[in-house]
A and B are shown apart, each in its own frame.
Chain A
Amino acid sequence: MSINDIVNALGVTVLLPIVIFVLALFFRIPAQRAFRSAVVIGIGFIGINLILGFFLNNLAPAAEKMVEAAGVNLPILDVGWPAAAAIAFAGRIGLFIIPVVVLVNVIMYVLRLTDTVNVDVWNYWHFAFTGGLVHAMTGNVWLGITVAALNAMIVLVLGDWTAPAVQQYYKLPGISLPHGFSAAAVPIAIPINWALDKMHLDRIQADPEAISKKWGFLGDPVIIGLILGFVVGILGNLQTLNTANAWFNVLKLGVAMAGVMYIFPKMVAILMDGLIPISEGVRDFMKTRASQRKFYIGLDSAIAVGDPAAIASAMILVPIAIVLMILIPQNRILLAVDLAVLPFMVVMTIPITRGNILKTVIIGTIIIAVGLMVGTHMAPLFTEAARAAQFEMPSGATMISSICDGSNLLTWVMVQLMRLSWFGALVLFLIGLGLAYLFRRNRKTWERAAGALEEAEEAE
Chain B
Amino acid sequence: MAQDAQFGSQRFLTLTLGEELFAIDIFSVREILDYTDITRIPQTPEYMRGVVNVRGNAVPVVDLRMKFGLGRVERTLNTRIVIVEIKKDDTLSVMGALADSVKEVLELETDRIDPPPRMGAAVRADFIRGIGKHGDRFLLVLDVDKVFSSDEIQDLSRLADTDAEAKPVPQPAETVSDEEFFR
Partners in one complex: no
